[in-house]
Amino acid sequence: MKTIFNPMRAAEVLKRIDKLSPNSQPQWGKMNVAQMLAHCSSFQDIAMGTSFPPRSWLGIIVGRFAKQIMYNDKTLPRNMSTIPTILIADNREFDIEKEKLKQKIITFQNNGPEKCTAHPHPFFGKLTSEQWGIGIYKHLDHHLKQFDV
């Protein structure tokens, strides 16, 4: 399974982010490219343990049964619902959001699994460091594909 903790995978993601431009258009969804970068950055904050969105009632009920979606070989479905606190609707500056996300990916990858949060995912609940690493890669891959990179 692909994980952001693998240096080759992290480098691949960073190169793909560098292919984005302020004019990149989504293949699906409502976010523009700067909003997508901010969204991915906010998801990194959760995995890094610097943001703690509350568990949703739906997540508490079905999250543990659905969490294999984050760490299997299938791609994430288009237009999947997201954690409300990381849904970005306001305007963002592309270059700032791009650099922020790249630095968070580098920090997360360099810190390794041992520095990954122990706080539960807001929907899926408790994840191992390995599951977080796979989930982060899969989430980034999903959104980079959304913008055709």
Instruction: Tally Cβ neighbours within 10 Å of residue 11.
Output: 13
The residue count of the chain comes to 149
43-63: average pLDDT: 89
Distance CA 27, CA 74 (A): 19
6-27: average pLDDT: 97
Sequence-distant (≥ 6) Cβ neighbours of residue 120 within 8 angstroms: 55, 126, 127
What band does 12 get if pLDDT is binned at 50, 70 and 90? very high
66: tokens are 């659905």
pLDDT above 90: residue 60 = no
* Sign of CA pseudo-dihedral 40, 43, 49, 54: positive
39-60: average pLDDT: 91
Task: Give the C-alpha distances (Å, rounded to integers) separating 144 from 36, 37, 102.
Answer: 9, 9, 13
pLDDT at 133: 94
Nearest to 122 by CA among 55, 28, 31, 64: 55
Residue 42 burial (CB < 10 Å; 0-12/13-18/19+)?
buried
Q: What does pLDDT average to over the chain?
A: 92
Q: How many helices (H) and strands (E) does the chain have?
A: 5, 0
What band does 127 get if pLDDT is binned at 50, 70 and 90? very high
* Sign of CA pseudo-dihedral 22, 27, 32, 35: negative
Distance CA 89, CA 34 (A): 10
What band does 86 get if pLDDT is binned at 50, 70 and 90? confident
What band does 76 get if pLDDT is binned at 50, 70 and 90? confident
